[in-house]
Amino acid sequence: MASIRPSGSKWRVQVYVAGVRDSQIFATRKEAATWGLEREAELRGAKLPDKTFGDAMKRYQHDEAPKRGGAHWEAIRLKAFRETPIANRRLASLDGNDFADWRDRRLAQVKPGTVAREMNLLRAVLEVARRDWRWIRANPMKDVRWPTTPKGRARRLSLEEIEDLAIGFGVWDKLRAKTATQRVGLAFLLAIETGMRSGEILSLTSPNVHLDEQYVSLPKTKNGDARDVPLSKRAVEILRALPLRFGPIFDMDASMRDTLFRKVRDKTNHRAVHFHDSRSEAIWRLSKKLDVLQLARVVGHRDIKSLMIYYNEPASELAKQLG
């Protein structure tokens, strides 16, 4: 039996069936009671709700995406997906062929890696709709083949590239943070020292920076875990160059960081460099100082195998260690 209680000027209805709990808030008690009866029936398997794929994407964006590290990207993609024909399809009518056809159309437009990321997002929406909301009984993407994607990029930076870029950002001879361009340069240098991702760096706030103890705390990362990242003396110097302020200490969003980085990069004629290459360089450098478990913890990898994307030491260098 649904439980309905006042919630301010509205009504909260809660249902609990077979270990699954769900609740919603409505403007009127009648709406709350109607939803409660329908939701209980859904949870008991008596019927499937008349929902579209677009309904599922909208609820996922509101309820689930904020819990994840890539919430901004997911929100952008889900908004775009809701404008496509497949969003108007009833969830119960979708099958694997629909998503295989969608995959093939997308592959004609964008790279396989992009399609794979988008398919991961759509599968996550459907899985939550199946497991938590009971809107479908089976995930229609379960047996859909993912596109073959290239190996992850793992490009080291040369000392010349780092110096030229730092000069271009105005942070080579002295660490400065007066302009947004200079702060992008500091973020780039900090990434090389720590292996932190761009989003992790831009999210740093003063309470999470512990310079005396030489570490920063990341409450939320890409994989959803919190972690502490140790700081080298150089990393501490970089962070000390930033002024104290409320909110994120780098005072910019991902879009501004990307635009300014590309602008300086192109002026220095190093168009092959990506900001994320700083992570590859950092992991390489840290691998010389930390064992593999320490390294995985510092850079936030749950699967140690993921480190092999970045760590590719030549056999000639390994031979020197053998004597």
**Residue 60 a catalytic site member:** no
**Residue 123 a catalytic site member:** no
Find the catalytic residue in 39, 51, 197, 270. 197
**Residue 263 a catalytic site member:** no
Check if the beta carbon of residue 28 is closer than 8 Å to that of residue 11. Answer: yes
Half-sphere exposure of 322 (CA within 13 A, CB side): 5
Find the catalytic residue in 106, 134, 270, 310. 310
Find the catalytic residue in 51, 130, 265, 279. 279
- In 10 A of CB 162, how many CB atoms? 19
Query: What is the C-alpha to C-alpha distance for residues 199 and 177, in angstroms, rounded to an integer?
Result: 18
**Residue 62 a catalytic site member:** no
**Residue 301 a catalytic site member:** yes
**Residue 222 a catalytic site member:** yes
Strand pairing report for 20-26 and 209-210:
unpaired
Find the catalytic residue in 39, 106, 257, 301. 301
Amino acid found at 55: D
Alpha-helix runs per DSSP H in the chain: 29-43, 53-63, 71-81, 96-107, 112-131, 159-169, 180-194, 198-202, 233-240, 254-267, 277-287, 292-299, 315-322
Find the catalytic residue in 234, 276, 285, 297. 276
Q: Which of 234-254 are b and which e, b meaning 16 or more Cβ less than 10 Å from the residue's Cβ?
A: ebbbbbebbeeeeeebbebee
Find the catalytic residue in 145, 222, 271, 302. 222
**Which positions are catalytic?**
197, 222, 276, 279, 301, 310
